[in-house]
Chain A
């Protein structure tokens, strides 16, 4: 049955794309769980990572898959800096002030990218672009498959870190009660900074991997940030497994949306889900605190 085949094809692609969305969103989720902060510029920094690949390609002829290794530590450092100088001073203020600050960052980053790279759609060739793999009767672009495998691996790794390492436990402790964590001797401020950096690091991985899948343009950041928000809301804010589930749901919903509703209405599907979940189950589909 061709109808069913197309359906499953879309679902598979949705799941794989969803894993990439998860990668982007999980950084935001962890940052939120330890700081209660929502960074509206989160997606924009992923775009920064992508454009950095462009620079490295033009300048040093590096394939984005190689650039990942250079960009990731730099993004971590960038995250630390931004947290220390821009975020930490405002953390104790009203959350709306922090939103305004990060919105300002959105403007700065998006316009900065516009300035340097112009508004033209850009892309960077990778050694995997265009190649495909057959999974049984289904076709999957290799870059998408690679992204899926990488995201899954990272998801497993992060889960392991959260469960078994002191750092992971400290994160979970702070997420449940920052004051109690402080009384345990946890340096809450330092962990918050490190988690922020970690979030950026994950963007440094997600960005380059997504290059073969999306065309780059300076204003795509806010849209990506919103997708991350949608995933957070779907899975429950700050819930790690929730982010995983949310990412998959978003990916599949988007894919099916394009399949059945066409390119016009499809973009509205994720946002509609977003609004509905916020209204009817604001604690997320997996329940959880708040």
Chain B
């Protein structure tokens, strides 16, 4: 469904990504793991159109995304939940969700989508008129996921969803993700929490210093010595 070929990117003279290539097929749940400044967020920004690589191509269902503007990429169905969530702090929960469903594709089914989100996150429904900035970290993450769902994603990307969250909330979020994946949603998860990622994702890529150094089925990676030493602390 999504394919990155030879993505190379830099900030000024600082190279961040080197020839990154990966592929995610429909209905898959794939993870991208790696240390903090490996370049994971940069890759997601490139896919969403917020950054331009100086080499390489991203294509979605056969169409190249390289000439599309960010809002057009959203219209294609590629939805990102960015690191830090980026919810609109001065709007209510309800308004944030409306913003999620802003794109033209999803607008007609806005009301139906509300119901679905509140079904998944009843906690949010209780707080629907609360100002988003006053929510706790976990509630904001729920809101971010709900907002993404309002956009009727065909391809959902998450950047470090577990960051700063209590284990209980993390479990809740990841259960929702698994549920969505069972309902045929394609998910691309970028995470520092390697253990968690390898438990939920079927396949994973390992990114180190801007390069893909390993890839394969999660089960295999969990057994891999290098991975165990570097990321699982074993």
> Residues of B contacting A272 with CB < 8 Å?
none
Assess the B88–A177 pair: CB atoms within 8 A: yes
Q: Give the segment of A10-18, A180-188, A243-251, A254-262 that binds chain B.
A: A180-188
Assess the A173–B71 pair: CB atoms within 8 A: no
Assess the B69–A189 pair: CB atoms within 8 A: yes
> Residues of B contacting A169 with CB < 8 Å?
91, 95, 98-99, 102
Are A183 and B89 CB-contacts (below 8 A) given A169-B95, A169-B99, A170-B102? no
A interface residues, tally (CB under 8 Å): 18
Assess the A184–B102 pair: CB atoms within 8 A: yes
> Residues of B contacting A182 with CB < 8 Å?
48-50, 70-71, 74
> Residues of B contacting A183 with CB < 8 Å?
48, 50, 70, 74, 79-80, 82, 86
> Residues of B contacting A179 with CB < 8 Å?
50, 82, 86
Is residue B225 within 8 Å, beta carbon to beta carbon, of the partner chain? no
A169 to B74, CA, bound (A): 18
Closest to B132 in A: A176
Give the shortest distance, in Å, between B177 (CB) and chain A (any CB): 18
Assess the B151–A184 pair: CB atoms within 8 A: yes
Mask: chain A, 160-201; 1 = CB below 8 Å from B; 0 = not: 000000100110110011011111111111000000000000
Give the shortest distance, in Å, between B206 (CB) and chain A (any CB): 26
A37 to B72, CA, bound (A): 25
Is residue B53 within 8 Å, beta carbon to beta carbon, of the partner chain? no
A54 to B205, CA, bound (A): 69
Partner of B71, one of A177, A180, A188: A188
Assess the A166–B102 pair: CB atoms within 8 A: yes
Closest to B82 in A: A183
> Residues of B contacting A181 with CB < 8 Å?
99
> Residues of B contacting A188 with CB < 8 Å?
70-71
Q: For chain B, residues 75 to 128, give those with C-beta under 8 angstroms from any C-beta of chain A.
A: 75, 79-80, 82, 86-91, 95, 98-100, 102-104
A172 to B99, CA, bound (A): 10
Partner of A176, one of B70, B75, B91: B91
Assess the A180–B50 pair: CB atoms within 8 A: no
Assess the B90–A186 pair: CB atoms within 8 A: no
> Residues of A contacting B99 with CB < 8 Å?
169-170, 173, 181, 184, 186
A185 to B104, CA, bound (A): 8
Task: List 16 additional contacts besides A169-B99, A182-B48, A185-B74; criterion CB under 8 Å.
Answer: A169-B102, A172-B90, A173-B88, A173-B99, A176-B88, A177-B86, A180-B86, A180-B88, A182-B49, A182-B70, A182-B71, A183-B70, A183-B80, A183-B82, A184-B74, A186-B102
Which residues does B use to contact A, with CB under 8 Å? Answer: 48-50, 69-71, 74-75, 79-80, 82, 86-91, 95, 98-100, 102-104, 147, 151
Which residues does A use to contact B, with CB under 8 Å? Answer: 166, 169-170, 172-173, 176-177, 179-189
